[in-house]
Amino acid sequence: MRKTIVCVVGTRPEAIKMAPVILAIHNDGNFDVKVLATGQHADMLDSVLNFFNITPDTNLHVMKNCQGLEYITSSVLTLTSDYLKKVNPAAVLVHGDTTTTFAAALAAFYLKIPVGHVEAGLRSFTLSQPFPEELNRVLVDKFAKWAFAPTVLSKQNLIEEKFPVSNIVVTGNTVIDALLCAVQRIKKPEIDVFNRLSDDKPFVLLTAHRRESWGKPLEHICQAVAFLLENYSDLNFLVPMHKNPIVREVFYKYFTNEERVVLCEPLEYPDFVWAMKNSLFIMSDSGGVQEEVTAIKKPLLILRSVTERPEAIENGTGILTGTDEDKIIYFSRKLLDDKIYYDSVVAKCALMPFGDGTASQKIVEVLKESLCD
């Protein structure tokens, strides 16, 4: 009988990065793959799963408005444990660093079910940034059986923490697998919001949602955008807003009546890929976007003061600005005014530090080697 592997997803980025893994296990045919959606995100999770044609075996629907970390942790831990007791899988795969990731992995660990950590070994070495994600990924790597490290650097981080070397595999990041799949299907989205961006005027794509940026830091980002709007009369901004009301409140406060800022709902994944490809440059505090721009080759101002993805700066188009208004303005102006600088940022991206789109297949091979007779 085929063994069962449970893949857990809770939020938008987990779904994007776990989708190719789920599909690769399914297509390989050696395992019965079940998808457990915790529903930490509601709308934003469903949209991604629909795009990849993935139907969860179960959705725990834990999301509440403005949910606290203790609520997500305790509900995901308890409900995932109940689910795993029924399904009794041979392994559980979790992705990355969200509260779903940590709580679901812990549920598996308590039941002595081996855990595979996809995107293991990323470290900012600062527990407060990103918060609480840095703690989540460190904790999962304390008890995971397999570490699927996206880069050599993440493998090195794990070795330094004494993770058993034989169980670390450098796979590349599965986001590149997802991106290559989305790129084949992108087109200019036929939704009203894009009609407001005229073809001849450049736009900057902006996303921000991190917990440590709530409040003042997010206001500083908006103030930098306001300055740029005032000084560049042709410039537009496209801002797909995270669903979190705490984040939206700030964007609405600054830009509700600003014609050249398009505030919109989160974009479907292929629409967002179109927006990245067609933007002049990107400003974001997202983790996944730092990886994606290395393949899309667009400059990215990273709206964080530290990153667990230094590869995005060394071999990618990332520029670390934090949420400092002056720094955001300074680097935006360089990108807008200095073509040689802009081209030099893009040219740094000759290498693909996050892999070539074969990460999911490498993960399947490890699982087969470990679990199939």
Q: What binding mask, one character per residue, do residues 205-224 give for ligand UD1 by CB under 6 A, x or -? A: ----x---------------
* Residue 319 in the binding site for ligand UDP (CB under 6 A): no
Selected binder of ligand UD1 within 98, 157, 284, 290 (CB under 6 A)? 98
> Least distance to ligand UDP from the beta carbon of 285, Å?
7
Q: Which residues pair with 35 in a beta bridge?
A: 7
* Residue 288 in the binding site for ligand UDP (CB under 6 A): yes
- Please choose which of ligand UDP, ligand UD1, none residue 99 contacts, taking the beta carbon within 5 to 8 angstroms, the exact cut-off set by kind: ligand UD1
State the first-to-last Cα distance of the chain, in angstroms, to the nearest integer.
11
* Residue 67 in the binding site for ligand UD1 (CB under 6 A): yes
- Please choose which of ligand UD1, ligand UDP, none residue 260 contacts, taking the beta carbon within 5 to 8 angstroms, the exact cut-off set by kind: none
Cα dihedral sign for 52, 186, 336, 242? negative
Selected binder of ligand UDP within 134, 177, 292, 311 (CB under 6 A)? 292
> Least distance to ligand UD1 from the beta carbon of 351, Å?
25
Selected binder of ligand UDP within 109, 254, 272, 274 (CB under 6 A)? 272
Give the contacts of 216 (CB within 8 A, at least 6 positions apart): none
* Residue 44 in the binding site for ligand UD1 (CB under 6 A): yes
Q: Which is nearer to ligand UDP, 220 or 298 (CB)?
A: 298
User: Which residues 69-88 are close enough to bind ligand UD1 by CB under 6 A?
Assistant: 69, 72
For the record, the structure tokens of 357 come out as 């789109």
* Selected range binding ligand UDP among 158-166, 187-195, 267-275, 314-322, rule: CB under 6 A: 267-275
> Least distance to ligand UDP from the beta carbon of 14, Å?
8
* Residue 40 in the binding site for ligand UD1 (CB under 6 A): yes
* Residue 318 in the binding site for ligand UDP (CB under 6 A): no
**Secondary structure, 3-state, the chain:** CCEEEEEEECCHHHHHHHHHHHHHHHHHCCEEEEEEECCCCCHHHHHHHHHCCCCCCEECCCCCCCCCHHHHHHHHHHHHHHHHHHHCCCEEEEECCCHHHHHHHHHHHHCCCCEEEECCCCCCCCCCCCCCHHHHHHHHHHHCCEEEECCHHHHHHHHHCCCCHHHEEECCCHHHHHHHHHHCCCCCCCCHHHHCCCCCCCEEEEECCCHHHCCHHHHHHHHHHHHHHHHCCCCEEEEECCCCHHHHHHHHHHHCCCCCEEEECCCCHHHHHHHHHHCCEEEECCHHHHHHHHHHCCCEEECCCCCCCCHHHHCCCEEECCCCHHHHHHHHHHHHHCHHHHHHHHHHHHCCCCCCCCHHHHHHHHHHHHHCC
Active-site residue 209, yes or no?
Answer: yes
* Selected range binding ligand UDP among 145-153, 284-292, 310-318, 322-330, rule: CB under 6 A: 284-292
User: Which residues 162-221 are close enough to bind ligand UDP by CB under 6 A?
Assistant: 175, 207, 209
Selected binder of ligand UDP within 104, 105, 289, 303 (CB under 6 A)? 289
**Residues of the shown chain interacting with ligand UDP in the complex, contacts defined by CB under 6 A:** 12-13, 16, 175, 207, 209, 240, 266-267, 269, 272, 286-289, 292
**Residues of the shown chain interacting with ligand UD1 in the complex, contacts defined by CB under 6 A:** 11-13, 40-44, 63-67, 69, 72, 97-99, 132-133, 209, 243-245
Catalytic residues: 209
